[in-house]
Amino acid sequence: MDIPLTADPAHVATARQQVTYHLRRWDLDHLAEDAALITSELVTNAVLYGRTERIMLRLAKYGSPAPQLLITVTDESAADAVPKADSPEGSQERGRGLHILQCLASCWGTAKTSGGKLVWATLALYGSGHENRAGRAQSPCCAGSELALALARSDG
């Protein structure tokens, strides 16, 4: 499911609404809150830091026996503008987005595309999805990476 957006702060709410709508259509209401928050963080970063006019939000279900929801946001920013998750200072007004993403997503990552960058996150479709967040280190090659990299290679 592709959802094209322009880099307008008002479209962050549009992105959240679209994700919630599509997850309800897919009978995945239980993921709507986390997926909407992840989407909000990814689209906000693309709007604020992507220096781009166009953003592509993509949702996909994949995987077996442990199905996942993949959320990707592609923008036209410089390929070296890859976000890094740092722990924000307590008084900082910004800088919590990727930290929130790390807490919610089963896994996440970035990829360079021929026209910019792609940032992706996965959520387990069934079960709590918190197994990977309970203090265990994430694998750099977790499930969503292959699909996200394929999307990046196809100009995601």
Per-residue model confidence (pLDDT) at position 136: 33
Q: To which H or E segment does residue 34 belong?
A: helix 32-49
Q: Which residues pair with 97 in a beta bridge?
A: none
Beta-bridged to residue 108, according to DSSP, are 121
Question: What's residue 11's pLDDT?
Answer: 94
Looking at residue 147, its pLDDT comes to 62
Q: How far is CA 7 from CA 22, 56, 90, in A?
A: 21, 10, 28
Q: What is the pLDDT of residue 131?
A: 43
Give the per-residue pLDDT at 50. 81
pLDDT for residue 43: 94
- Give the pLDDT of the chain (156 residues) as one tens digit per residue: 899 999 999 999 999 999 999 999 999 999 999 999 999 999 998 998 887 889 999 999 987 777 889 999 999 887 555 555 555 555 555 555 677 788 888 888 888 888 888 899 999 887 644 444 433 334 433 545 566 666 655 654
Name the E strands within the chain.
2-6, 54-62, 68-75, 107-113, 116-124
Q: Identify the CA nearest to 43 among candidates 103, 116, 104, 120.
A: 120
Residue 138 has a pLDDT of 40
Report the pLDDT value the prediction gives residue 139, as an integer from 0 to 100: 40
The pLDDT assigned to 60 comes to 92
How is residue 74 written in tokens?
A: 């592609």
pLDDT at 144 (0 to 100):
54
